[in-house]
Amino acid sequence: MPTLFITLYRLIKAVYSCFGDREFRALGVATLTLLACGTLFYHNIEGWRLPDALYFCVMTITTIGYGDMVPTGDLSRMFTVVYAFVGIGVFVALAAKLATGVVQSDHRNSDTEQ
């Protein structure tokens, strides 16, 4: 259990340190915008509840894709194709930027300890 808290602490610390990076903030805003647009689209077009639509969007851009929810209409399917390509790209870029922040944060900490 302590390992979980240490890892969460490191993650929160890295996110906080990344907020100074303009590109990280832009990717964060882009990710949140994509999630909001996708959620509203599926809510309005598919008739899904907002939590279900958000869940589907997160599962899609993180490439988990359980398959428990699927778009039924042609418009929704075409939207999902575009949404997946754009969303996965933006999410991977955000995750890479965060990983860089974690590594740099660890590197700075190890430099100050020596």
Per-residue pLDDT reduced to its tens digit, 33-90: 999 999 999 999 999 999 999 999 999 999 999 999 999 999 999 999 999 999 999 9
Q: What pLDDT score does 82 carry?
A: 97
Output 43 or 104, whichever has higher pLDDT. Answer: 43
What's the average model confidence in pLDDT over 92-98?
94
pTM: 0.83
Do residues 57 and 38 make contact, with C-beta atoms less than 8 angstroms apart? yes
pLDDT, one tens digit per residue, over 12-33 is 888 888 888 899 999 999 999 9
